Amino acid sequence: MTKHLHKLKAHARLFHVQKEAAFALILIVLTFVLLAALPDTRQPFASSEVQFTDSSASGLAIVPASCPSTPDYAGECDPSPLCNLPSAVAALFGINCPEPPPNTCDNGASNYPTCTFPPNTCDNGASNYPTCTFPPNTCPIGYILGDDGVCVFNVCPSGYEQEGNQCVSITPACTPLNYCVGSTLWHRNATCSTSPIQACSNGCTAGGCIEVAPPGVVVWQVRPPLLNAGERANVSWQVTGVLSCEVTGNNGDGTGSNETGVWSGASGAQISSPITAQTIYTLTCIGLDDSTVTRSATVNITPIFQEL
Amino acid sequence: MAWLVTSISRRRFYIAAIVLLVCVSPFFYDGPVLALYRNTHESLMYRLFPSSERAFAYGERHFNARNPSSYDVERAAYFFGKAADIDPTFPYLYHELARIAFLKGEFETAMALINMQIAQMGDKAPNSYYIRALIEGYMGEYAASAKDYEYFLQSHPTNWAAVNDYAWVLLKAERSQDALAAIEPVIPYWPDNPWLLNTYATALYETREYTEALRAAQKASIAVSNLSETEWLQAYPGNDPKIASKGVAAFKKAVQDNIHSITVALASSTVQSTVKP
């Protein structure tokens, strides 16, 4: 009988424990469901590329992409690297790598698919697309194309002046611009050269350093200004735009040399030590713009008049 | 579990379970909770161990279209800026800042930044030339853009996006024959690429080869109808994953509009050739 009772009790305990475990399991599932249901409140970032379609001369829509913009990686827009292997090997992996069409570029150019010549194959620094025949517009400004295909210096057009054998633009080539790189402000001038102009101590945004307002004293009170010897005064202060503030009295208050301890911070309210003689309290703050602001207030002792 | 519940007190077990849940559960959902957890963690780690490498890595994490919960251009710009403060010569720093300025539509700033990158790394970074070409294209400086695309294509001759964009600026510069010459050799590599097919159709249209243009546009239409948001994001890796559906929709509309324009042009040309004596 006792044995049965023990067995029954053990069953009951196990049932209780299983109930607890089931409850814990439900709790876990509920937490996961709750987390999954949390809405993502971030607003989508609409870049200049989204919905961008340009139109051709006759009005058809062209859709540019920007696949190989990731640093040092051509994205998924290059054929598989397996295409560099013999086509039979690529075919084993199910990758179709068509053979490049025969080279149709002139003058020995072989840069498929565009007949672009490497710079060292053309003279005079001509932009050598599609062939090295120096079309007039590829000669440097001020040069004309000679019969032998060589650019010959002629005369600088208006808006340019001659410097040696070059025509240099006298009109600005770039719009002057200030822009931020981290917390450094950079400038690009009219000749397109760039240089850092300022390290912004408070950060840089939208082509300018973030300006910081000078410190402003909102509250500076020492009350009462007149008291009986041995009484205490209330000192309170509140200053905006500061790195730090300290309040000291010439009786040692706020300096840490007496019972009042150190008085510091952008705001505070303190009770002075017993005042026995005229005391001057001074508030000194260093602003976020590195400027210093000071205020002072005097507490006087009520004179005692003795009848003679 | 039963052993745990009986061996330690129940209250402790529940507290431990809840703490464990709070710590572990963010990793199971690519959502705002995970983003909050990651942001807090990286802010803390950066404050403890600031370095340009760490700042750049965090910037990259937030500038990745494949990671929807982490995508945050402002946070990416913040960390790239931090990296620049520590080490202004860090590779590809200005490249990434230029991309962000470009995406924000600040093209002048983007140009200044990418020029700094090219001055720093020069020929070692053909992708920076690609970015400059893209910015110049958006600014309407098509001749300069075409030159930079050509430079990039020297090292990536069959990159479909570069060829597509190169053809775009050639078409804008009214050099439709050159655009055709650039696209045609690459089509066999990417026979079902909707961007290339659409630009190819446009180039054919501009050269008045309407029948071929319609055929290419119809192929583009089939290809774009199968275009997933993931594939769209591969083509625009700096963009917000949340905006992909709008991008796909805009692309589909562009292709349909082109088919309509080409069909009208083809019909007109057929009528004209029929009427002619």
Task: Give pLDDT, residue A136.
Answer: 43
* Higher pLDDT, residue A220 or B11: A220
d(CA A281, CA A301): 14
* Residue of A111, A114, A192, A197 for testing the chain B interface, max B β-carbons within 10 Å: A114
pLDDT in tens, B75-122: 999 999 999 999 999 999 999 999 999 999 999 999 999 999 999 988
Q: B26 vs A275, which has greater pLDDT?
A: A275
Residue B10 DSSP SS3 = helix
CB half-sphere exposure, B136, CA atoms < 13 A: 24
Return the closest-CA partner of residue A163 out of A177, A144, A136, A142.
Answer: A142
Confidence of residue B123 (pLDDT cuts 50, 70, 90): confident
Task: Quote the CA–CA distance of B186 and B75 in Å, as a whole number.
Answer: 38
* CB-CB contact of A117 with A132 (8 Å): yes
Q: How far apart are CA A117 and CA B154, in angstroms?
A: 9
Q: How many CB pairs lie under 8 A apart between chains A and B?
A: 282
Cβ–Cβ contact A33 with B under 8 A: no
Q: Cβ–Cβ of A48/B138 closer than 8 Å?
A: yes
Measured between beta carbons, the chain B residues lying within 8 angstroms of A45 are: 71, 73, 103, 239-240, 242-243
- Adjacent-strand bridge partners of A301: A227
CATH numbers and ranges of domains, chain A = 119-168 (no CATH), 177-209 (no CATH), 216-301 (2.60.40.2470)
Q: Is the pLDDT of residue B277 over 60?
A: no
**pLDDT attached to residue B180:** 94
Q: Which of A265, A258, A223, A227 is nearest to A243 (CA)?
A: A265
Nearest Cα neighbor of B79 from B100, B55, B51 is: B55
pTM, two decimals, is 0.66
Q: Which residue has the higher pLDDT, A119 or B143?
A: B143
Instruction: Assess if CATH 3.30.40 describes domain B175-277.
Output: no
CA distance A238 to A285: 10
Does A39 reach chain B within 8 Å, measured CB to CB? yes
Q: Kindly report the average pLDDT of chain B as a whole number.
A: 88
Backbone angles phi, psi at B170, to 5 degrees: -65, -40
Residue B272: per-residue pLDDT: 63
Identify the pLDDT of residue A153.
84
Answer for the pair B29, B21: CB distance below 8 angstroms, yes or no: no
Residue of A nearest to B250 (CA): A51
Higher pLDDT, residue B9 or B88: B88
As a whole number of angstroms, the distance between CA A304 and CA A300 comes to: 12
* For residues B43-47, average pLDDT: 91
Alpha-carbon distance of A195 to A186, in angstroms, equals: 6
What average pLDDT values come out for chain A (308 residues) when binned by 10 residues? 73 68 76 67 72 83 85 70 72 67 55 47 48 55 77 82 80 84 90 88 87 88 93 94 91 90 92 94 89 92 79
The predicted pLDDT at position B275 comes to 54
Q: Above 90 in pLDDT, residue B195?
A: yes
Residue B31: both structure tokens together: 């959502």
Residues of A in contact with B162 (CB under 8 A): 67-68, 77
Domain locations in chain B as residue ranges: 175-277
A74 min Cα distance to partner chain B (Å): 7
Given this model, what pLDDT does residue B20 score? 74
Query: Which residues have a Cβ under 8 Å from the Cβ of B251 and sit 6 or more positions away?
Result: A53, A63, B194, B224, B227, B232
Q: What are the residues facing A186 on neighbouring strands?
A: A179, A196
Q: What is the pLDDT of residues B226-250, one digit of tens each?
A: 999 988 988 888 888 888 898 899 9
The pLDDT value given to residue B67: 80
The confidence score (pLDDT) of residue A161 equals 82
pLDDT at A214: 83
List B199's β-bridge partners, or say none. none
pLDDT (0 to 100) of residue A270 = 94
* CB within 8 Å: A24 and B130: no
